[in-house]
């Protein structure tokens, strides 16, 4: 593929309206090689040489040297840099030289575990590993195979979910693994952040605790996309010190990275052409030119929507390619996911539209292009997704299509922020009491707690154990703490990928079959009554949501619209933790209680995004404690805004929306991880206020990061508002699609004056 030729073809099309905002030419890079301190075991070296994997890149050699010295290692390098070999060499050398040794590989997705299983088979079987000595063990593993896997397998490939709910609570059945556990591999460690990462930290501490029971002390090898804090992040995940390998010696083919901004179709209102439509145009254009492409979308709904658009375009073109593309996302049944993975890997498919389920290190064959529909929320994830193309070392092409929101529009106007800025810090909070308490209950079920367990759970152990005793959930007997009553393992009631409990089952009432499962935390937003839900490109109307039985009923529909939930939020200040002076005002960090209620939904036309109706909902509120930052307005600014006939409430509301959208630039998080409230008068402070809070019980460190960098946040927010060409506010600056008040009131001019006042520029 010649990227310049395709870009020329693209810009010559009738629908091109100046969408190319920036093209970054990323030159190819040559390999840098390293040396091992001592030679590899002969049979392992021969195997690697036979497959063309020697000499080792510099970072591979450095990681293996650290592992051989007994260190825990974190490797933080770019996508497709050969990180897998860093841990496979260490593990296989142990397998060959220590016949009883075992290893546990943890991957965030089943697809990645399956891919790595295939890699072990192709590289090391039957020369170094016999069939049956390595196996995946997850929710898709047939029950009649599980006993044999526990007995024979020396390398178990699984995910944190199965470790949490299937292995640790049944540790006696896994005593052979735990007694001889030599290595624990934590792959794609950058994905373990926020709530998920904080839960995984609890799971890994429980694993280390049970290893001590069985007499082992495994080394940990973590692999991650490039992060600003790989050593700190791995240390907080596992609870141990790590040696860091961050110099990347792998070669890379060149890449043309295009920032693509959908054109304005109404400049005054700031309305842009739909990013999903633009993604379908690019995707079908690439596929039609015989360029194998992976298109990413940020949600299940958008994945299905882009696939539907693209299939229709290819059908209308009569190219015969409509059957050569597929959607792929979490929620599909295991056999559906495996089939699509095989078809993509083998080259049967010309393209796939996927959620981040295919962002990770799975080898999807010789892809030449990637299309990212919307900024993925972090620089690290953007490079991960873009890096799915060009893995063979050939030149490749990547597009980042901007959504109509402040964050994406900021990047379109300031590409240097993306290409020149260092990557972000990954945030986890293993001491979050709402997470830690659950893992203490799990740990006590697995083995009664003692004072020595502070080694694993830290000083917060005593405080949270006391709280569990106060609630009557845990009791002390001698020097040990037990669960007061435990009929089933507590792990079954803890969803480590969210703060919510069990998933909802989505039932197709026309067939009586299970379509898929939906997280409890997302249920009110995605499968409320009246919602349109997309599955495999087909639309379903949600007719009933049964909260007691965690089920939702859906029936096929031909509706040509989609739905978007709306919520309202109230916030109470419980305690100020700290405060500081910034420019002309004061900024605070503290504990708050948030109450959110999904109050209705909007119907939008599929292709035009036109609002065609709104309906109210009657759903129960969700109340939770969390951490927030908030700030006062400079003295006299509120009176000035009011005196000059600005809408103070509209200015606060607009600045709140924009600031929430921009915060992910500074904290490795998703827009949905953050919430906000603004008001001209808050009863707990007696002042006009803007609050920004972690949208998860207990908080995960986002508000703290925003508090530390609040002046940078104000500066970036002001740029978004000032540079947007709309007159009165639009989705690209101060409007929010989640706003429960239908984005009323909003005053763009007041928001700009307010932000200038905060920075002392007004």
pLDDT in tens, 228-269: 899 999 999 999 999 999 999 999 889 999 999 999 988 888
Residue pair 519/219 in contact (Cβ under 8 Å)? The answer is: no
Q: In the 8-state DSSP scheme, what is residue 554?
A: E
pLDDT at 613: 92
Distance between CA 18 and CA 41 in Å, rounded?
Answer: 58
pLDDT at 493: 83
pLDDT at 762: 58
Residue pair 532/559 in contact (Cβ under 8 Å)? The answer is: yes
CA neighbor of 590 nearest in space, from 579, 603, 601: 579
Task: Give the Cα-Cα-Cα angle 377, 591, 579 (nearest 5 degrees).
Answer: 90
Distance between CA 528 and CA 522 in Å, rounded?
Answer: 10
Q: In the 8-state DSSP scheme, what is residue 404?
A: S
Q: In the 8-state DSSP scheme, what is residue 425?
A: P
Going from the C-alpha of 9 to that of each of 2, 6, 16, 288, 290, the distances in angstroms are 11, 5, 10, 12, 13
Task: Give the Cα-Cα-Cα angle 453, 437, 199 (nearest 5 degrees).
Answer: 90
Residue pair 203/167 in contact (Cβ under 8 Å)? The answer is: no
Q: How is the beta sheet containing 20-26 ordered, strand by strand?
A: 20-26, 255-260, 396-401, 369-373, 293-296, 351-354, 325-328
For the chain, what is the mean pLDDT? 91
pLDDT at 102: 98
Q: In the 8-state DSSP scheme, what is residue 57?
A: B
* Token pair in block for residue 405: 């929101």
pLDDT at 436: 95
Q: Which residues is 311 bridged to in the sheet?
A: none
SS3 739: strand
SS3 274: coil
* Token pair in block for residue 265: 């179709």
Residue found by looking up tokens 């010295």 in the block: 69
580 φ, ψ (degrees, to nearest 5): -150, 160
CA neighbor of 637 nearest in space, from 762, 462, 471: 762
Q: Which residues is 565 bridged to in the sheet?
A: 601
Task: Give the number of C-alpha atoms closer than 13 A to the C-alpha of residue 437, restricted to the C-beta side.
Answer: 19
pLDDT at 360: 59
State pTM to two decimals: 0.82
Q: Which domains does the chain have, with CATH numbers?
A: 3-27+252-420 (3.40.50.300), 42-245 (3.40.50.300), 433-493 (1.10.10), 504-559 (no CATH), 572-592+621-758 (3.30.1360)
Strand blocks (E) in 416-499: 474-477, 480-483
Task: Give the number of C-alpha atoms closer than 13 A to the C-alpha of residue 301, restricted to the C-beta side.
Answer: 16
Q: b/e map of 36-71 (b: 16 or more CB within 10 Å)? A: beeebbeebbebbeeeebeebbbbbbbbbbbbbeeb
Q: In the 8-state DSSP scheme, what is residue 41?
A: P
Task: Give the Cα-Cα-Cα angle 225, 226, 230 (nearest 5 degrees).
Answer: 95
Residues 6+ apart with CB under 8 A from 344: 326, 328, 352, 364, 365
Distance between CA 344 and CA 326 in Å, rounded?
Answer: 9
pLDDT at 361: 54
Residue spans of the chain under pLDDT 50: none
Alpha helix ranges (H) inside 69-109: 83-97
Residue pair 527/552 in contact (Cβ under 8 Å)? The answer is: yes
Task: Give the number of C-alpha atoms closer than 13 A to the C-alpha of residue 246, restricted to the C-beta side.
Answer: 11
pLDDT at 641: 93
pLDDT at 359: 58
Strands 73-76, 219-224: parallel, antiparallel or unpaired by DSSP? parallel
CA neighbor of 713 nearest in space, from 750, 745, 743, 674: 674
Residues 6+ apart with CB under 8 A from 359: 296, 376, 381, 384, 385, 388
Distance between CA 500 and CA 450 in Å, rounded?
Answer: 28
Distance between CA 405 and CA 298 in Å, rounded?
Answer: 13
- SS3 letters for 619-676? CCCEEEEEEEEEECCCCCHHHHHHHCCCCHHHHHHHHHHHHHHHHHHCCCCCHHHEEE
SS3 728: coil
Distance between CA 270 and CA 288 in Å, rounded?
Answer: 32
Q: Which residues is 74 bridged to in the sheet?
A: 222, 244
pLDDT at 430: 92
pLDDT in tens, 202-233: 999 999 999 999 999 999 999 998 888 999 99
Alpha helix ranges (H) inside 83-193: 83-97, 110-124, 143-152, 160-162, 175-179
Distance between CA 468 and CA 487 in Å, rounded?
Answer: 17
pLDDT at 392: 61
554 φ, ψ (degrees, to nearest 5): -135, 145
Residues 6+ apart with CB under 8 A from 221: 63, 67, 72, 73, 74, 75, 86, 87, 90, 183, 184, 185, 186
What interhelical angle do 710-723 and 748-758 show, nearest 10? 150
């Amino acid at each position: 593929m010649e990227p310049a030729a395709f870009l020329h073809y693209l810009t010559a099309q009738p629908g091109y309206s100046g969408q190319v905002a920036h093209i970054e030419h990323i030159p190819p890079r040559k390999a840098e090689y390293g040396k091992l301190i001592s030679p590899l075991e002969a049979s392992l070296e021969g195997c690697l040489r036979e497959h063309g994997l020697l000499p080792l890149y510099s970072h591979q050699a450095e990681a293996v040297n650290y592992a051989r010295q007994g260190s825990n290692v974190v490797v933080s390098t770019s996508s497709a840099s050969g990180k897998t070999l860093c841990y496979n060499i260490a593990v296989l050398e142990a397998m060959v030289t220590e016949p009883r040794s075992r290893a546990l590989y943890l991957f965030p997705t089943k697809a990645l575990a399956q891919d790595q299983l295939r890699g072990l088979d192709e590289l090391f079987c039957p020369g170094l590993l016999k069939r049956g000595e390595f196996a995946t063990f997850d929710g898709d593993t047939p029950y009649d195979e599980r006993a044999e896997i526990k007995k024979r397998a020396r390398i178990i490939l699984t995910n944190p979910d199965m470790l949490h709910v299937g292995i640790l609570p049944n540790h006696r059945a896994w005593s052979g693994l735990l007694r001889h556990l030599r290595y624990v591999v934590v792959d794609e460690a950058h994905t373990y952040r926020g709530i998920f990462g904080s839960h995984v930290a609890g799971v890994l501490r429980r694993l280390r605790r049970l290893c001590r029971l069985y007499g082992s002390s495994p080394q940990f090898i973590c692999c991650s996309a490039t992060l600003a804090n790989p050593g700190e992040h791995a240390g907080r995940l596992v609870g141990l010190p790590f040696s860091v390998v961050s110099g990347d010696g792998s070669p890379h083919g060149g890449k043309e990275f295009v920032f693509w901004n959908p054109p304005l179709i109404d400049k005054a209102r700031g309305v842009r052409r739909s990013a999903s439509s633009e993604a379908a145009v690019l995707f079908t254009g690439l596929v039609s030119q015989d360029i194998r492409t992976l298109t990413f979308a940020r949600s299940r709904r958008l994945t299905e929507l882009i696939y539907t658009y693209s299939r229709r375009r290819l059908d209308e073109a009569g190219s015969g390619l409509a059957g050569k593309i597929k959607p792929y996302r979490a929620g599909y049944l295991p056999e559906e996911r495996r089939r699509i993975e095989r078809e993509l890997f083998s080259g049967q498919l010309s393209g796939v539209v996927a959620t981040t389920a295919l962002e990770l290190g799975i080898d999807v064959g010789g892809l030449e292009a990637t299309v990212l529909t919307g900024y993925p929320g972090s620089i690290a994830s953007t490079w991960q997704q873009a890096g799915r193309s060009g893995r063979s070392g050939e030149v490749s092409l990547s597009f980042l299509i901007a959504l109509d929101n402040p964050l994406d529009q900021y990047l379109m106007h300031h590409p240097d922020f993306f290409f020149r800025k260092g990557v972000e810090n990954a945030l986890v909070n293993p001491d979050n009491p709402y997470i830690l308490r659950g893992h203490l209950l799990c740990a006590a079920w697995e083995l009664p707690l003692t004072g020595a367990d502070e080694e694993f759970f830290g000083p917060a152990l005593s405080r949270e154990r006391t709280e569990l005793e106060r609630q009557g959930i845990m009791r002390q007997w001698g020097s040990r703490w037990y669960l007061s009553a435990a009929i089933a393992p507590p792990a079954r009631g803890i969803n480590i990928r969210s703060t919510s409990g069990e998933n909802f089952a989505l039932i197709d009432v026309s067939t009586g079959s299970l379509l898929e499962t939906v997280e409890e935390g997302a249920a009110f937003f995605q499968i409320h009554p009246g919602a349109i839900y997309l599955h495999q490109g087909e639309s379903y109307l949600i007719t009933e949501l049964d909260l007691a039985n965690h089920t939702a009923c859906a029936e096929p529909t031909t509706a040509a619209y989609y739905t978007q939930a709306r919520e309202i939020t109230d916030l109470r200040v419980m305690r100020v933790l700290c405060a500081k002076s910034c420019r002309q005002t004061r900024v605070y960090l503290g504990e708050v209680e948030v109450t959110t209620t999904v109050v209705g939904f909007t119907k939008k036309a599929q292709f035009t995004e036109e609002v065609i109706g709104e309906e109210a909902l009657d759903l129960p509120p969700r109340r939770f404690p969390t951490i927030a930052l908030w700030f006062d307005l400079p003295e006299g600014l509120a009176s000035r805004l009011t005196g000059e006939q600005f809408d103070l409430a509209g200015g606060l509301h607009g600045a709140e929306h924009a600031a929430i959208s921009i915060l992910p630039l500074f904290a490795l998080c998703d827009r949905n991880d953050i919430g906000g409230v603004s008001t001209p008068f808050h009863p707990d402070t007696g002042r006009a206020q803007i609050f920004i809070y972690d949208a998860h019980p207990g908080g995960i460190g986002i508000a703290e990061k925003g508090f530390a960098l609040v002046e940078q946040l104000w500066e970036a927010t002001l740029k978004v508002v000032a540079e947007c060409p709309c007159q009165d506010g639009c989705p690209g600056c101060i409007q929010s699609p989640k706003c429960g008040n239908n984005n009323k009131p909003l005053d763009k001019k007041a928001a700009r004056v307010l932000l200038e006042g905060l920075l002392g520029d007004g």
